[in-house]
Every structure is written in C-alpha cells, then in structure tokens.
Amino acid sequence: MRKRISRVALAFIVTGLVLMVAPAAFAAETPEGAAAAADNGSFFTTDGARKAGGAIGAGLVIMGGAAGIGRIGGSAVESMARQPEATAQINGAMIITAALIEGATLFAVVVALLAVV
C-alpha cells in the first residue's frame, strides 16, 4: 500500500513540474514568446517563483500539521485504551496540544499565503 501511495505522489510531482514548464515551452514556439524568453533568460519569473513557493509552503505546512495532530490523536487513543481511568486527563492534554499545533499551522499558512498575494 505504501508503494502505491509513493507512486501516486511521484506522479503528482512529475505532473506538477511538467505543468510548470509547459507554458514556457509553448510560449517559446511563437515569435513573441521566443523574444520574451530570450529577454527573461528563464521560463520562471520572479513573481511566479514567489507564488509557487508560497503555495508549496502552505501545502507542506498543512501536511505537517495534519500529521502532527493525527499522531497526537492516535497516541491519545492508544493511551486511553491502556489506562481507561486516565481518559479525562489524556483527552484534555490531547485537545490542548492539538489546538497549539493548529494555531501554529494557521499562522504558518497565513505567512506562506502572504507570499502569494
């Protein structure tokens, strides 16, 4: 199952890279596009790099926050199964920790998305 997920993720990454490069390749075929590409020296403008970096950063932050909250939830449920008498304390600590991670994630997403605007 893990190999399958890795292959799908790799396919998405390759597709994303192709989609980033494709507009420049098609623009270079026209005389106006060739002149613009020659003037720029690059297919990726500063504005485009800024927006792509912000979008990729926001996505990575969300994935990291989701992984952290998922790990906290899984560990809390496992702890509650081992010690049912401590369920209230574990549940409270889990909610507070998840809220802190969510707050940090939200702040990081806002900072990453400010690069896009």
Which tokens sit at 93? 């600590």
pLDDT of residue 102: 93
Contacts 24+ apart (CB under 8 A), 24-28: none
Cα separation of 94 and 36, whole Å?
54
- pTM value is 0.60
pLDDT for the residue numbered 117: 77
Query: What average pLDDT does the segment 73-84 reach?
Result: 94
Residue with tokens 């192709």: 18
DSSP 3-state percent helix, strand, coil across the chain (nearest 5): 90, 0, 10
Which of the residue ranges 26-35, 39-48, 59-68, 75-84 would you say has the lowest mean pLDDT? 26-35
Give the confidence band of 23 by pLDDT, cuts at 50, 70, 90: low
